[in-house]
Amino acid sequence: MVSQKVTISNPSGIHARPAANLAKVAGSCRCDVHIVVGEKKVQAKSVLNLMAAGIKTGTEVVIECDGEDEAEALKK
């Protein structure tokens, strides 16, 4: 498993369009991709889960990738 801490810089946070884009990229990966926000761990391949997480601008999250193409997925 590989992970990276990032800060959300989109002024609107992760709303519908960025969630859809992120889910599309995560869906193209063969590994599991999760976003960890505080105590919540969200499947990044699901637009609804990303939107339900309520990730606002300035929030620090951890992106976790686990599987056969994890390093490549984290770069995406």
Tokens of 9: 């810089």
Question: Which one from 9, 11, 14, 15 is the annotated catalytic residue?
Answer: 15
Report the C-alpha gap between 33 and 27 in whole angstroms.
9
Nearest C-alpha neighbor of 27 from the set 41, 15, 44, 51:
44
Tokens of 43: 């499947």
Can you give the pLDDT at residue 21?
95
Phi/psi of residue 40, each to 5°? -90, 140
Active site residue 34: no
Can you give the pLDDT at residue 31?
96
**List of the chain residues with pLDDT < 70:** none
Can you give the pLDDT at residue 42?
96
Can you give the pLDDT at residue 59?
96
